[in-house]
Structure 1
Amino acid sequence: MKYDLIIVGAGPSGIFTALELNRRDSNKKILIIEQGKPIEKRYCPKEKTKKCVNCVPFCNITTGFAGAGAFSDGKLSLSPEVGGDLPEMIGYDYTEELIQYTDKIYLEFGADTKVEGIEYKEEIKEVRRKAIEAGLKLVDCPIRHLGTEKAQEIYQRIEKYLIGSGVEILFETQTTDIIVEDGVIKGVVVTDSLKKTKIENIYADNVVISAGRKGADWLKSLCVQHNIAHRAGTVDIGVRVEVRNEVMERVNNILYESKLIGYPLPFKDKVRTFCQNPGGYVSQENYDNNLAVVNGHSYKDKKSNNTNLAILCSHNFSYPFNEPIKYGVKVSELLNMLGDGRILVQRYGDILDGKRTWQNELSRSNVAPTLPDAVAGDITSAMPYRTMTNILNFIEALNIVVPGFAGTETLLYAPEVKFYSNKVELSKDFETSIKNLYCLGDASGWTRGLMMASLMGVRMGQILNK
């Protein structure tokens, strides 16, 4: 059977491509191929086991309908200044217009109507003044918080809507290759995700790759194999920081998420905060070869005593090295090795004292870890010197904005790595160097986060309706 459109990956960009195109032309034959499960079957056993059991064949947190976004903190950043480089391609004003359009779709499927970070204007000015004093930039960004559990409900409604509208979805099916003839896409090669015994060719007039962060490395190999124009991008490596809610209370109440950027001495690399979760929980994600990476969740109805956020350092490489994803993987593997395959956690004060953290020290701290199976140890033994220096100096600057942030009991978890470093060369219509082959979302290197990936999908649906 031949389709008008095949979408590889049911992440936000793929979902919203199908949604927008189907609404504009319900006669289009659309197929979504997803290597994971439907959202209603995605479940992390760690909720019961209290430790990662390395689900086979894929981690349910990173793979399945709605991708990692369904198990993220569930925040929509409502500003073109946040979420990647897409405004450079399609324009700042048009990006803002698409944000408003896409936001209405989320509201239609049940997103909370409340927008965080717009109410306390005078208080925000004071936070900005403190940030300027610290040499940091505060980025204004209204936030619509879906919540981790509510995001899953919203995406389940979208899944049911798509299926009910005639969009076909092949779950637990892995795309292994694309079919190209004379520089034109013709279809994809797929197999079953678990046994990989049945191989099949599926054909389409257009193919959209929406592989998400989980598929970034696969997409890079595809680009190399088929000579799809791409370039090395940025890889973000850092830590997830956890403090008591009392430390972050004022900023949490005013902004909900404080997006701060700095260029600390001596290297002046870009360092930023990301994914702040008031009353949230530190979580673990597993990528290929059981690579354990830390993240954070924030629920609507379930709250902890802590706030967590990521501090990420951007790494840009030049000739002769052009494998930033592999660099991030190697750093993560070293940290995983020290933690015996689990996430490492260390107290900030112990880092300054030049010692590892011991489990009995964590048990008597004011900050109780919300990731129960994290291993107390020494992050500095594996984190690159340049990265670690940037992170420590950034924390000192952040302590001016949020007094107490650089407390001795502040927890640092590692590794936190964002795998979206390969950047595919795209036209303004998101077309690759292969005709009728398009690439979207975080795997493309152009977006970072739910809103930008979603609106890129919306725009793709509009383009394919022409």
Structure 2
Amino acid sequence: MNKFDVIIVGSGASGVFASYEFTKLNTNLKVLMIDKGNSIENRICPIKAGKVEKCIGCSPCNIMNGYGGAGTLSDGKYNITTNFGGDIHKYLGKDKSIELMEYVDKVLCSFDEGETKLYSTKSSNLKTIALRHDLHLLDAKIRHFGTDRNIEILKKMYEFSKDKIDIKFNTNCEDVIKKPNGEYVVITDGGEEFTCDNLILASGRSGSKWMSNICKKFNINLSSNQVDIGVRVELPAEIFKHITDEVYESKIVYQTKSYNDLVRSFCMNPYGQVVAENTNGIITVNGHSYSNPELQSENTNFALLVSNKFTEPFKDSNEYGESIAKLSNMLGGGVLLQRFGDLIKGRRSDDRRMEKCFTIPTLKATPGDLSLVIPKRQLDSIIEMIYALDKIAPGIANEDTLLYGVEVKFYNSKVEVNNNFETSQKNLYVMGDGGGTTHSLSQASACGVYLARYLNELYA
């Protein structure tokens, strides 16, 4: 039977926690979750498996798609905060949002066999030190599991819910139709049709274009969101050790003197690896880290991102980010790599210069010139931020600091929803990063918990 009470399109963080909560509540609702990616045990990137050196454009990308979404093979870092990572508090209130994120934290820890420290920036004197140099550290509590343990946690969550929730992998939702009686029909690439009373769209970052198309079809209002353009910085872990040992993730914001632009550090990975990821055929860069010391590197990596918002007549911020990433792909065949010293001296990095570099890159990338890719305004802002960070962690502005480009954070156009994440179309919901309301593991997961509870109560 292909009739369900609830269908969830996407098995990212919000979908995983919605399916977990439905199972825990022992709901009588018949629920189906579909995803175009692989099951978690089959999500193996050929680069990490040692089969290839560079991204070969797998479709779908195992880093971005499949059970757990883009967060599965990330560093397993959950920021419990409303200061960044989305706007869930604008719908549920700050207290409720924090309560849900702390619940998510307890669930994750219950599936984890080890022990993890809950870091907090509030008790750190780093904020005072940063302020002396016009750097602003945002408050958060941080739980880090590592890529390896995060995968094991998600495997257990899948086992917990798979007998209660129907889950279909390698199934792409091509279209959605609304019947005259209000039911929704999900049409897959395999020609299957699934009908439901309540449809939840949770397609994540990689489903941004698809989400926009569905919303336009149903005349659901969308507002343009920002796109962040930047680089992934890699340097010896010792340089940032005094910060990462204390707070692990330091979300630092700086306003440049040259343009008054905001630059922020993002996704810090102590002893981690730089990785490539494929978003709709575009190769960008990201970072991961592991809990197991045997899998750790000698480097720390993090992103430096400049936020870009546009007004009339141009509104498609994601298209802007894609064009820059495509240029990087064209010049480097994927990810470009440059020494900070070469960038400052106005010369490209090449194989000869990289052979003399004391910082050993953790990702095989093409040596090149980022100034040919990243617009001057953003690049100037990134350079200014590096010099500012060098004041609180001397060594960041060293010549052998590595810059990978480009790193692009695509934000889905924000879908107009009410406080229960329901769109203007009755019983059509949007949750997680796919709706532009959240852009973090903690907030997306909390959104999934809330919506599962809401629908369960609605039909109790």
- Is structure 2 residue 348 aligned with structure 1 residue 349? no
Opposite residue 4 of structure 1, the aligned amino acid is D
Residue 443 of structure 1 deviates from its aligned partner by: 1.6
Q: Which residue of 1 aligns with 2:328?
A: 335
Distance 1:254 1:11, change over 3 A: same
User: SS at 1:413's partner residue?
Assistant: strand
Which stretch shifts more, 107-116 or 146-155?
107-116
Q: Which residue of 1 aligns with 2:431?
A: 440
Distance 1:315 1:112, change over 3 A: farther
- Is structure 2 residue 143 aligned with structure 1 residue 140? no
Q: Could you list the per-position Cα deviations for residues 28-61 of structure 1 after superposition, in whole angstroms to 9, with x for gaps in the alignment?
A: 1000011111101111111222423525421111
The answer on whether the counterparts of 1:54 and 1:286 sit within 8 Å (CA) in structure 2 is no
Residue 351 of structure 1 deviates from its aligned partner by: 1.1
Q: How does 1:186-197 map to 2 (within 5 A)?
A: 186-191=184-189
Give the unaligned 5+ runs of structure 1: 192-197
User: SS at 2:442's partner residue?
Assistant: helix
TM-score, length of structure 1 as denominator length: 0.94
Distance 1:119 1:441, change over 3 A: closer
The answer on whether the counterparts of 1:206 and 1:437 sit within 8 Å (CA) in structure 2 is yes
Which stretch shifts more, 95-104 or 7-16?
95-104
Give the unaligned 5+ runs of structure 2: none
Opposite residue 82 of structure 2, the aligned amino acid is P
The answer on whether the counterparts of 2:111 and 2:157 sit within 8 Å (CA) in structure 1 is yes
Residue 118 of structure 1 deviates from its aligned partner by: 3.6
The answer on whether the counterparts of 2:182 and 2:197 sit within 8 Å (CA) in structure 1 is no
Residue 399 of structure 1 deviates from its aligned partner by: 1.2
User: SS at 2:20's partner residue?
Assistant: helix
After TM superposition, which residue ranges in structure 1, 4 or more long, deviate above 6 angstroms? none
Residue 183 of structure 1 deviates from its aligned partner by: 10
The answer on whether the counterparts of 1:183 and 1:434 sit within 8 Å (CA) in structure 2 is no
Q: Which residue of 1 aligns with 2:395?
A: 404
Residue 120 of structure 1 deviates from its aligned partner by: 9.6
The answer on whether the counterparts of 1:112 and 1:145 sit within 8 Å (CA) in structure 2 is no
Residue 182 of structure 1 deviates from its aligned partner by: 5.7
Q: Which residue of 2 aligns with 1:303?
A: 296
The answer on whether the counterparts of 2:259 and 2:381 sit within 8 Å (CA) in structure 1 is yes
User: SS at 2:150's partner residue?
Assistant: helix
Residue 111 of structure 1 deviates from its aligned partner by: 6.6
User: SS at 1:154's partner residue?
Assistant: helix
Distance 1:185 1:316, change over 3 A: farther
Opposite residue 322 of structure 1, the aligned amino acid is K
The answer on whether the counterparts of 1:243 and 1:405 sit within 8 Å (CA) in structure 2 is yes
Opposite residue 260 of structure 1, the aligned amino acid is I
User: SS at 1:272's partner residue?
Assistant: strand
The answer on whether the counterparts of 2:29 and 2:456 sit within 8 Å (CA) in structure 1 is no
Opposite residue 322 of structure 2, the aligned amino acid is V
Q: Distance in 1 between matches of 2:262 and 2:418?
A: 27
Residue 180 of structure 1 deviates from its aligned partner by: 1.9
Q: Distance in 1 between matches of 2:241 and 2:135?
A: 20
Q: Which residue of 2 aligns with 1:153?
A: 152
Q: How does 1:95-106 map to 2 (within 5 A)?
A: 95-106=97-108
Residue 231 of structure 1 deviates from its aligned partner by: 0.7
Opposite residue 187 of structure 2, the aligned amino acid is V
| Percent pairwise identity | 38
Q: Distance in 1 between matches of 2:61 and 2:184?
A: 30
Q: Distance in 2 between matches of 1:286 and 1:393?
A: 29
Q: Distance in 2 between matches of 1:330 and 1:109?
A: 41
Q: Distance in 2 between matches of 1:96 and 1:413?
A: 34
Q: Distance in 2 between matches of 1:120 and 1:434?
A: 42
Q: Which residue of 1 aligns with 2:235?
A: 243
Q: Which residue of 1 aligns with 2:226?
A: 234
- Is structure 2 residue 305 aligned with structure 1 residue 312? yes
The answer on whether the counterparts of 1:324 and 1:421 sit within 8 Å (CA) in structure 2 is no
Q: Which residue of 1 aligns with 2:441?
A: 450
Q: Which residue of 2 aligns with 1:283?
A: 275
User: SS at 1:117's partner residue?
Assistant: strand
The answer on whether the counterparts of 1:130 and 1:400 sit within 8 Å (CA) in structure 2 is no
TM-score, length of structure 2 as denominator length: 0.95
- Is structure 2 residue 27 aligned with structure 1 residue 26? yes
Residue 319 of structure 1 deviates from its aligned partner by: 1.2
Which stretch shifts more, 130-139 or 3-12?
130-139
Which stretch shifts more, 180-189 or 34-43?
180-189
Which stretch shifts more, 41-50 or 294-303?
41-50
The answer on whether the counterparts of 1:148 and 1:298 sit within 8 Å (CA) in structure 2 is yes
Opposite residue 29 of structure 2, the aligned amino acid is K
The answer on whether the counterparts of 1:112 and 1:146 sit within 8 Å (CA) in structure 2 is no
Q: Distance in 1 between matches of 2:193 and 2:119?
A: 48
Q: Distance in 1 between matches of 2:74 and 2:442?
A: 13
